[in-house]
Amino acid sequence: MSVFVTRIEEVAADENDRRTIWRLLNSSTVPDLTTANAGIVSYRPRPEGAPPAELGGAHDFPEFYYVVSGKGVVAGPDGEATISEGDSFLIQAGTPHSIWSTADEPVTTFYVALRGR
């Protein structure tokens, strides 16, 4: 089949204290998919009184994000940028980064990780 449908309720959520992620398109959900991953990530607010944000890990591939709902911040080595519903941003391969909500509700994004060939 050349069209694959993945329903979010059929995908196990991966959750930690900062975010919940649903990996919708990957080699587990689409046979032979090796060049990209995609999904939904819901980022929580940073805890009140938390120290300045530490940058998270860097990946070997670029990541494209579209903000579905909410408001937040994306941070990288060059500083921080505010994000809100309708915004998109790209994180270059090898760039340490962090994303968090700046409101009581999560900031929810759709992402595509471009893994190459």
**pLDDT digits 0-9 by tens, 24-71:** 988 888 887 778 899 999 999 987 777 666 788 899 999 999 999 999
pTM of the model: 0.89
Distances (CA, A) of 39 to 15, 29, 95, 111: 13, 11, 20, 6
Domain presence at residue 18:
yes
Q: Which residue has the higher pLDDT, 57 or 8?
A: 8
**pLDDT digits 0-9 by tens, 86-112:** 999 999 999 999 999 999 999 999 999
Distances (CA, A) of 103 to 6, 48, 86, 92: 30, 11, 16, 26
CATH number, domain of 86, equals 2.60.120.10
Domain that holds residue 23: 8-114
Cβ neighbors of 108 (< 8 A, separation 6 or more) are 40, 41, 42, 43, 67, 68, 69, 70
Q: Count up the domains in the chain and report the number.
A: 1
